[in-house]
Amino acid sequence: MSWDWQVFCQDTITQEVGQSCFGKNGDITYLDWMLSAWGWTVSVSLLSLLIALVLGSIIGTLRTLPDRPWIVRLGNAWVELFRNIPLLVQVFVWYHVIPAIFPALKRVDGFVLVVFAIGLFTSARIAEQVRSGIQALPRGQRYAGMAVGFTTFQTYRYVLLPMAFRIIIPPLTSETMNVFKNSSVAFAVSVAELTMFAMQAQEETARGVEVYLAVTALYVFSAFMVNRIMTFIEKRSRVPGMIAASGGGH
């Protein structure tokens, strides 16, 4: 089997190989298209992660409130709902069902809808991690906040959450990497991300091996960069005695 990496220098319309792999004068090569698709993948992932972090932090915190059983139950219901429905089903619900119920959303771009679908799905997982992080803290920390006169909000804001987030950075790293991988479902609602590029470029060029290897490399690179960034954050925010060293050894 011979590989032909010049496929990325081909014009997407004429299929001719140009002198440069980057199109000029309005021409678009498959390399241009792939990099654009990578940009959409990163955009979907980062915006979904932002929604997931905000909602997950709120829901996870609410699930640990003392003497608020109904709020805890609502938080638990949120987690069970979004965690137990397959992501692809949630994407189709947001794209087909929600706009049918709320007609105003029919004018919303599919990109926005898939961001919310992935964000809400991931928020349930992050909420569970935040809850676990708070409950892993010694009870004395909550009592210390109360002893100095903090309100419940202030106790969470200044005492519990800063420590809880330090504890859950390792699982958050995995979840962040999962968001980048889960962004591939966006192809199902015609968002021009990497997976859709790979499917269409393979059909047009019959060079599926080269196309899918390049796309796989971009997914691996994205996940690797996320891992390095999160590892840096973990090292800078680590509190001795509270977070076990990665790998259990060093």
- pLDDT tens-digit profile of 79-114? 999 999 999 999 999 999 999 999 988 888 889 999
Identify the pLDDT of residue 248.
39
Question: Do 189 and 114 form a contact (C-beta atoms < 8 A)?
Answer: yes
> Does 184 score more than 70 pLDDT?
yes
**Which residues are paired to 11 by β-bridges?**
29
Calpha distance 11→22 (Å, rounded):
9
The pLDDT value recorded for residue 1 is: 55
Amino acid at 93: V
Lowest mean pLDDT among 157-161, 181-185, 205-209, 244-248: 244-248
* Mean pLDDT confidence for 216-221: 94
> Is pLDDT above 90 for 128?
yes
**Pairwise CA distance, residues 223 & 202, whole Å:** 23
Q: What is residue 26's three-state secondary structure?
A: coil
- In this predicted structure, the answer to whether residue 18 has a pLDDT above a threshold of 90 is no
In whole angstroms, what is the distance from residue 130 CA to residue 78 CA?
14
Domains (range + CATH), the chain: 33-237 (1.10.3720.10)
Q: Which are the contacts of 216, defined by CB distance < 8 A and separation ≥ 6?
A: none
Q: Which residue's structure tokens are 């011979």?
A: 2
Arithmetic mean of pLDDT, 30-43: 93
pLDDT the model gives residue 121 = 96
**Mean of the per-residue pLDDT values for the chain?**
88
What mean pLDDT do residues 20-45 have?
87
CA atoms of 25 and 14, how far apart (whole Å) = 14
Calculate the CA 6 to chain-centre distance: 32
Contact 55, 119 (CB under 8 A): yes
pLDDT of residue 150: 87
pLDDT(243) > 60: no
